[in-house]
Structure 1
Amino acid sequence: MKKWLTPAVYILALVFSYTYRNEIWIWLKSAYSPFPVLLLCMLLALFPILPYKAVIAVLGYAYGTFWGAAAAWIGTTAAAVIVYVVSAALYREPGRRFLKRYSLLDSFTAKLEKHPFTAILLVRMVPVVPQMAVNIYAGVASIPFWTYTAASGLGKIPVLLLYAYLGNGFAHSPVRFAILTAAVLAASLAGVLGLTRYLRRKGT
């Protein structure tokens, strides 16, 4: 029964967030404390009703590059820790059984567990990798909590700063925004290939 609890909570939160999105936005704008903003950043990372890269860009546009990235960093890091803990507590054993069914996934997991800090750090720096999938996968795999948390926190910084910077500069230079976005996508694809080759070499 408890295995169905997390998806049920997730769906209810999505429905609630979408239904009361206007009220949430009004509440956020009227808040004089940073805590509502940080709470909303965490909730949007946990329940992605919007692409989080767009959320970071909006934060950069609203609060500037540094403070926008800082708010996103606190929110996403808190969400990453929560998802990791829930995945490790509820889904580690069935998740490991699932991974063992597929030799490729099982081999990849074994390689990742040999170099967890480097692997998590690199994958956090690749924007095209779904971060929620990383959070769940890390909870299922035998990655130490503090290794995961430290690598995630450090690895998120460059991407968050970049998207906050893009959001901050969009109104002033849309052309630069388009060029930098294309460059980010190209670098992300190169990063995926680099991570794959790195883990392959370390596994041999």
Structure 2
Amino acid sequence: MKLWHVALMYGLTAIIFFIYRHPIYDWMLHDRPSLPVIFLLALGFVLFPVLPFKIVIGMLGIMYGPLLGALISWTAASAASVIVYMLVKTTFHEQGRAYLAKFKQMEKLKRMMEKNPFITLLIARLIPIFPQALINIYPAFLSIRLRTYVAASALGKIPAMLVYAYLGSSLLTDGRSALIAACIYVAFLALILTLYKLWLSKKA
């Protein structure tokens, strides 16, 4: 498939999702479609981020409770990461490498990912030290194996999925618990960031 064909299909689908994002959101929240349909819609919102996915996770937490809501979100996000990786790897690989080579500030990230791909990807997923859109595509331009990318991404997504689904399920009914969960998550991010900086200092 030609590059412009892929770009055109993605663009048209993104436009459709953007135009109907609010009706889709309301339908998901009020009509409770079947789980396979919910999964496909969640997958669509990951691939076409016309709404912040954190909102979608919270909504799924409201609909199905924190555990099932987080599981649906995590499964959709993990599936989307594989789709994006394979699409970039097979269609945009050469163009992407040539484009990113122009940015010298990407060299440090490239070296970190190629030297310690699992731990770098895991930390990047656990805390927002890198733009997540970049983490979705950049590994496909490098010599990182699909299984390493999938494992690190899947593990790194778990804490955020659980927290946002729990916040969604409890924010309206138990604001105090939601606040405590948010504080614990912030402390967890601070701890991971501190450990990451210590790891970098030892590598220097």
TM-score by length of 1: 0.84
| Equivalent-residue separation in structure 1 for 2:20 and 2:112 (angstroms) | 44
User: 1:21-68: per-residue Cα shift (whole Å, max 9, x none)?
Assistant: 426743785565310011011110000111111111111111101100
Q: Displacement, 1:148?
A: 0.6
Contact 1:119 1:195 in 2 (8 A): no
What corresponds to 1:173 in structure 2? 174
| Equivalent-residue separation in structure 2 for 1:57 and 1:63 (angstroms) | 10
User: What is the one-letter code of the residue matched to 1:173?
Assistant: D
| Equivalent-residue separation in structure 2 for 1:9 and 1:175 (angstroms) | 45
Q: Judging changes above 3 Å, is the alpha-carbon distance between structure 1 residues 68 and 199 closer, same or farther for their aligned structure 2 residues? A: same
Unmatched segments (≥5 aa) in structure 2: none
Percent pairwise identity: 34
Contact 2:112 2:120 in 1 (8 A): no
Coordinate RMSD, CA, aligned: 2.7
What corresponds to 2:97 in structure 1? 96
- Give the match's secondary structure for 1:133: helix
What corresponds to 1:81 in structure 2? 82
Q: Displacement, 1:79?
A: 0.5
What corresponds to 1:135 in structure 2? 136
| Equivalent-residue separation in structure 1 for 2:14 and 2:193 (angstroms) | 30
User: What is the one-letter code of the residue matched to 2:20?
Assistant: Y
| Equivalent-residue separation in structure 2 for 1:127 and 1:164 (angstroms) | 18
Which residues of 2 match residues 181-192 of structure 1 at below 5 A?
A: 181=182, 184-185=185-186, 187-188=188-189, 191-192=192-193
Contact 1:112 1:119 in 2 (8 A): yes
Q: Displacement, 1:190?
A: 5.8
Q: Judging changes above 3 Å, is the alpha-carbon distance between structure 1 residues 13 and 110 closer, same or farther for their aligned structure 2 residues? A: same
User: What is the one-letter code of the residue matched to 1:59?
Assistant: L
Q: Displacement, 1:4?
A: 3.3
Stretch of structure 1 that moved more, 84-93 or 42-51: 84-93
Q: Judging changes above 3 Å, is the alpha-carbon distance between structure 1 residues 88 and 65 closer, same or farther for their aligned structure 2 residues? A: same
TM-score by length of 2: 0.84
| Equivalent-residue separation in structure 2 for 1:24 and 1:132 (angstroms) | 22
Contact 1:28 1:37 in 2 (8 A): no
User: What is the one-letter code of the residue matched to 1:155?
Assistant: G
- Give the match's secondary structure for 2:105: helix
**What is the number of equivalent residue pairs in this alignment?**
203
| Equivalent-residue separation in structure 1 for 2:179 and 2:29 (angstroms) | 29
Q: Judging changes above 3 Å, is the alpha-carbon distance between structure 1 residues 73 and 125 closer, same or farther for their aligned structure 2 residues? A: same
| Equivalent-residue separation in structure 2 for 1:117 and 1:102 (angstroms) | 23
User: 1:124-148: per-residue Cα shift (whole Å, max 9, x none)?
Assistant: 1115643222111111122101111
Residue 112 of structure 1 pairs with residue 110 of structure 2: no
Unmatched segments (≥5 aa) in structure 1: none
Contact 2:122 2:153 in 1 (8 A): yes
User: 1:134-186: per-residue Cα shift (whole Å, max 9, x none)?
Assistant: 11111112210111111111111111111111111101233443454355456
Q: Judging changes above 3 Å, is the alpha-carbon distance between structure 1 residues 91 and 196 closer, same or farther for their aligned structure 2 residues? A: farther
| Equivalent-residue separation in structure 1 for 2:153 and 2:182 (angstroms) | 23
Q: Which consecutive segments of 4 or more residues in structure 1 shift more than 6 A?
A: none
| Equivalent-residue separation in structure 1 for 2:52 and 2:25 (angstroms) | 17
